[in-house]
Structure 1
């Protein structure tokens, strides 16, 4: 890809509301939660076990953000004791195709990206005198 000249018709412009939503829906924990909920509904404790690196506080905040954005719904089950289950919404399911496109792009270009990272790191090491 050598074309870096700006084109009027396809300007890469992410407005503040778009950036905010991308940050809220496609962050590390949101993607992990969506990955789990795409398979089946889950209770909070099941999500914690499925995503062991997430803290209780981060998982709670993530679920609330996703619920606020209409991506996940919180369902109170009529059991005793009362239980809560999280489910992906119809709107949340529409995220699958664009995320799959990004994952396919990563699959195709990850070797090139890893090569670029290696070259960058080596150049940085040389600049710092560590590569000599």
Structure 2
């Protein structure tokens, strides 16, 4: 469709509004959906007018997505392990604080290296956070 500034005024078509019926006003478009999980199918299949998916996270444009998700799971597993150790009393708050400082420093240094590589493109392979043995 052409923009209005490219179409001469004599060809403009005015839209006639349809009178809305009482049934349209009372339509419940949620149809009993109450939780986000009920909307999951609608969200995941949503496509914009250009034909692209609205949820770009679900499309795998990144060939290293699996490795990045694996690293995120390892970080979350470390958090759960530390929380469980503290709950059982096997690790005190001071030791936990020291571990968190060390790991935070490692993650920040690795993050700086990752961002620098993204900017300079020195290495073709992706750089990941390394929190120990794979």
TM-score band, normalised by shorter chain: under 0.3
Q: Which has the higher contact order (CA 8 A, sep 6+)?
A: 1
* Structure with the larger helix share: 1
Q: Which is higher, the Rg of structure 1 or of structure 2? A: 2
